[in-house]
Every structure is written in structure tokens, then in C-alpha cells.
Amino acid sequence: MIDATGMPQSGVLLGGTSEIGLAIIRRLATRRLGRVVLAGRDPAALEQRANELRSSGIDQVSTFVADVRDAGALDGLVSEAWARLDGVDLLLVATGDLGTAELSELSAGRVASIFEVNAGGPAAALLAFAEAMAAQGSGRLVVLSSVAGVRVRRANFVYGAAKAGLDAFAVGLSEALEGSGVGVTIVRPGYVRTRMTAGRSQAPFAVDPGDVANAVVRALETGEKIVWVPAILRLVFAGLRVLPRPVFRRLPG
């Protein structure tokens, strides 16, 4: 049950080894979150993360092996999560693959996989959990989108295009769920210092996973539906969206 301040007591992290996802889970655990399922594709890595959460004091943590590209596995995750957690207050979708934007490295299969991990799989999971939460009468879907999808750049255009699709899907789903008791929070971080960005040159307004976690907790408290991290990126991208392409192309980051 989500408490009066918007804090969930039970949750599923899809992308159960995500540094940003785990930072959000840890932050929510300092409030009411006490029952968690970590879902992902690598059983050993999931178990390691589960042990870390258990030793940090979260009462009930279990793991579920699912590749986000496998719709059957996602259906299994929904039924298993409800059985294990006695109702699910929160789905946090944190799967992501930056992939490549080098034409020589891309193939139809590689593009399809990047789209599945960043958009198709997350959308399928959001839909499956939305239906179950609507039947329950309550729930919160938090989806890690990206500013990469707000205006797509050459450097990561496949990832950015997939994130644009996921973001648009989440906006539409949020509208479709009006009045159901289920809310959607769309998180649009800029550059976050995690293993996903390790080795890449740091973009302006870079943040840490903890900053994203703080912003998500605030949004759950206030009911804010679209969260830019850091908040200044909302204004920055209002400008970047309309910047002529020859100028946009030359910007750093």
C-alpha cells in the first residue's frame, strides 16, 4: 500500500543491477520500502545486489531472472511479484543499453535489440504492471527515460530514438491511466556518472545516481509526472529543442 506521502512499501526493479535503479531503491528504503524484487538477466549479479540490499536493512529482497526482451518472462514477473510481495506498489523500469551509433557496427539485429532493451521491453513491462495495478486500484510506475530522447543526437542516435519512443509511450500511458489509481512518473536524467557512461566524456550538468534518487522521491511525494535531473535541464532542452540543427550538431557532450 502506498502511504499518505506517496511512498511505496513494495516494489520491483526491472534492471535489478542498475546503479541508478538501486540508488532509488536504497533511498526509498529509508522511507517505507521494505519488500523488493530485483529482476534482470544475470542471476549471480542480481543475487549480489540483493545481498547488499539485505545487509543495508531491507527486510525482504528476492530476485527474478528475466531478459527484458522476453515478453513471456515479463508476464511471469508480474504474477510472481504479486505472489511474493502481496501486492506491488511500485514498478521501477531501469533497463538500458547505450549500444552503438557507429554505422559499421550496426545491423538490423543490433538495432532491434537496442530498441527492445530501451523501449519495447520496458513498454511491455509497464503495460503488464499497469493492468495488474489498475485491477489492484493503486500503484506507481516509474520509468527511466533520458534527455537523449528529447532531441536525438548523432553520437547516440539509436539509443536516443528508442528512449524517445519509450518516453512518448509513457506519456500516453499516463493519460490512459487517469482515474485508475495508477500513476506514471517519467524521469529524464542527463548525464549520470554510472558504469553506463564510464569512459565517455562527461556532459554538462552531470549528476550522480543519488541525485536521481532524490528527485524521484520528491516526485513521488508531490505527484510530479515528469522529472528532469538536474531540474535545469528542463529549461536547457526547451532551448535545445528549437536550436537550428547545424548549431545543435556542434554542441559538446
Report the interface residues with ligand NAP, using CB under 6 A.
Answer: 15, 17-21, 40-42, 45, 67-69, 94-97, 117, 144, 146, 189, 191-192, 194-197
Using the minimum distance from each CB to ligand NAP, give the nearer residue, 86 or 224: 224
Whether 159 is catalytic: yes
- 200 Cβ neighbours under 8 A, 6+ residues apart: none
Nearer to ligand NAP, 20 or 85 (CB): 20
If you compute the radius of gyration of the chain from its CA atoms, what whole number of angstroms results? 17
Cα atoms in the Cβ-side hemisphere of radius 13 Å centred on 128:
25
Among residues 198, 188, 195, the alpha carbon closest in space to that of 241 is found at 188
Closest approach, Cβ 248 to ligand NAP, in A, equals: 18
- State the nearest-atom distance from the C-beta of 181 to ligand NAP, in Å: 26
Point out which residues pair with 35 in neighbouring strands: 10, 60
Query: Sheet harboring 60-65: ordered strands across?
Result: 60-65, 35-40, 10-14, 90-93, 139-144, 182-189, 226-229
Name the residue nearer to ligand NAP (CB basis): 18 or 185.
18
φ, ψ of residue 238 to 5 degrees: the values are -60, -35
What SS3 class is residue 98? coil
Shortest distance, position 179 Cβ to ligand NAP, whole Å: 28
Q: Which residue is nearest to ligand NAP (CB)?
A: 96
Catalytic residue among 82, 129, 159, 228: 159
Q: In the complex with ligand NAP, which residue's Cβ is closer, 177 or 212?
A: 212
Residue 104 beta carbon to ligand NAP: minimum distance, rounded to whole angstroms: 22
Instruction: Show which residues are catalytic.
Output: 159
